[in-house]
Structure 1
């Protein structure tokens, strides 16, 4: 049977190649969309954990997805928070979402307090020396930027004063006062990162103290563990819906291509099927041939798709070094299984049609 299966595929190389590439495209679609979406979530979670804070608080009207809402709290609240028992550092931040050259969060920070959460590790340069200075991370600098260069951020020119190791919230940091002026919202902050005595018991006390402070009863207070737990596919609205939609489209494409390919193959090989049945081949044997051809095509397509996905990741990292692209073994396995069983499903009806052919009618087929 194996020789027959391989012979059938080699005899029609163009159709075999098209079918294998259709499966490969299906796999690339599944893995790439999952890699981009998971990369964004994982990157955000990693950057937030790298800030070094123990807790975060912001006005209740603000979104848990930092950067998705405006700054509505006074920077002076940081002084009130820093005076609370068990709070050692209160760092105000003004985070603004921008979509100029790419979608990213620009961090407006008070350098002394933000650096006190967990010190920046400078690769080059140093802290702000002026209101139009900007600190970028090493991934951003990989685009060919260096200390002393001028870049456009939020429609304004900024001089790069320092390059730091990545993983401390955002990739670009400007003075919080400058952010307020640019955004027409001076003296405001989006949220406050807190460094506390490291104990869950003390964090509960801090939470209660914040809610007991006049004017802060409606503030949302979270530990960093609680915030990071929200950055998962299950907690992100629309994440799984979008992922399943793309996967569904990919499966439909693979299903239709395999169905059409195998159905055409069955029609073209009607006489061959008649000969096999006249020689005693059972229906199960005929079904096995068609499904084996499909399985071999699918395995080749899956292999091509996985290789193409890793090539796509390399190309994206070279072109867009800040774009997270997370390929996990779990999703490689899931994408492969989805493509494999989707293809078998597409070949099932043509296989049954082949098995049901009457040998006499098949032999007389022109």
Structure 2
């Protein structure tokens, strides 16, 4: 009986019910989208790093493991030096030129990189031949509507697209190493160096040896480097995520509070009648809480479904380098946040409802 009455009350005011569900859905979508983009972008970066085929990463002196590289302070003679170290079978360096937002151009020794990574898997075209040739991965080509034979202007130079390859190979945009060194005014310099070992299980012991021999150079196993590409390892991103979650909770709380407060005012006479026929305060409060719980559940379901829309929008319209993944572990967390926040928002209107005097409520217009 109470459940039927609760559903009838929600159906009797469809606009308010729909707006309340939509507001809670937006709260859920905000949280899940932010978490999905944060995790997706970092995981995609880790996947590309693993796609290099390297076991060890060497970064410039003074840089941290996750700092961006906007300069090229290492000599391009260093890969030959590292290649002579025990267990190192291949060493190759790259130069990185940052672009807008998360994108960058990476200069590669194409032959060395192909030996290390197993080579690019081209969907169209092939490797660069001229210094002004460029290859890009399929998501970047789709975003920029590029095909083999097109030209693209970056860092004040025109590049000729010679190949489009499957994603996951270190970088989204690649050119010849020497060409990017010259175009950026960094001849014979590198941004970072990748090492491949004869036995990947010895990566940590080799890192310890190299750190002792080359003090000042941040040297990491690739496994450790990719493990650091997570939200929990980036304090600023983690704090930003918590701030947005807090804002979403406040928005949801306010919307539910206003919806339930309005519902109590609209149903003053109805509550008076329930009290007059002997309904207890607990019954009336329970009915309001059930309504709120249903709103939160429907809003959560709608919010989860909306994240698939944001994924589609992210895939087709978001700036390059942003990826949204579905983080299933956050579904129950977000549902809990939405439900608890909604129930808290209904407490004050609920108390107002049960404290109403039956006589005054029946005379309310």
Question: TM-score, normalising length from structure 1?
Answer: 0.93
Q: Secondary structure at the residue paired with 2:153?
A: strand
Counting matched residue pairs gives: 361
Residue in 2 aligned with 1:246?
Answer: 244
Residue in 2 aligned with 1:142?
Answer: 142
- Supply the distance in 2 between the matched residues of 1:206 and 1:249 (Cα, whole angstroms): 43
Q: Secondary structure at the residue paired with 2:104?
A: strand
Preserved contact between residue 196 and residue 203 of structure 1 (Cα < 8 Å): no
Preserved contact between residue 84 and residue 206 of structure 1 (Cα < 8 Å): no
- 1:145-187 deviation line (CA, Å, top 9, x unaligned): 2222111222311111222211011111011222222222221
Q: Flag the 1:179–1:192 CA change in 2: closer, same or farther, 3 A.
A: same
- Supply the distance in 1 between the matched residues of 2:182 and 2:146 (Cα, whole angstroms): 25
Question: Any unmatched runs of 5+ in structure 2?
Answer: none
- 1:35-68 deviation line (CA, Å, top 9, x unaligned): 1111111111111111110001122312322644
Residue 124 (str. 1) matches residue 124 (str. 2): yes
- Supply the distance in 2 between the matched residues of 1:167 and 1:130 (Cα, whole angstroms): 24
Preserved contact between residue 51 and residue 168 of structure 1 (Cα < 8 Å): yes
- Supply the distance in 1 between the matched residues of 2:204 and 2:268 (Cα, whole angstroms): 75
- 1:162-217 deviation line (CA, Å, top 9, x unaligned): 222110111110112222222222211111000012144365235414642xxx32
Residue 208 (str. 1) matches residue 209 (str. 2): yes
- 1:208-227 deviation line (CA, Å, top 9, x unaligned): 14642xxx321111111110
- 1:272-323 deviation line (CA, Å, top 9, x unaligned): 1111112111111111111111112222222222222112212322334853
Q: Secondary structure at the residue paired with 1:234?
A: helix
Residue in 2 aligned with 1:266?
Answer: 264
- Supply the distance in 2 between the matched residues of 1:206 and 1:310 (Cα, whole angstroms): 42
Q: Which moved more, 1:143-152 or 1:252-261?
A: 143-152
Residue in 1 aligned with 2:358?
Answer: 359
- Supply the distance in 2 between the matched residues of 1:86 and 1:66 (Cα, whole angstroms): 28
For residue 129 of structure 1, report the CA deviation from its aligned partner: 0.9
What is the correspondence of 1:27-42 to structure 2 with a 5 Å cutoff?
A: 27-42=28-43
Cα RMSD after superposing both structures? 1.8
Question: Any unmatched runs of 5+ in structure 1?
Answer: none
Residue in 1 aligned with 2:335?
Answer: 336
What is the correspondence of 1:6-155 to structure 2 with a 5 Å cutoff?
A: 6-65=7-66, 67-99=68-100, 102-118=101-117, 119-143=119-143, 144-155=145-156
- Supply the distance in 2 between the matched residues of 1:247 and 1:220 (Cα, whole angstroms): 35
Preserved contact between residue 5 and residue 292 of structure 1 (Cα < 8 Å): yes
- 1:78-133 deviation line (CA, Å, top 9, x unaligned): 1111121211111101122210xx53132111112111111222223222211111
- Supply the distance in 1 between the matched residues of 2:307 and 2:206 (Cα, whole angstroms): 48
Preserved contact between residue 91 and residue 192 of structure 1 (Cα < 8 Å): yes
Residue 172 (str. 1) matches residue 170 (str. 2): no
Preserved contact between residue 74 and residue 189 of structure 2 (Cα < 8 Å): yes
2:254 to 253, 256, 259: 256
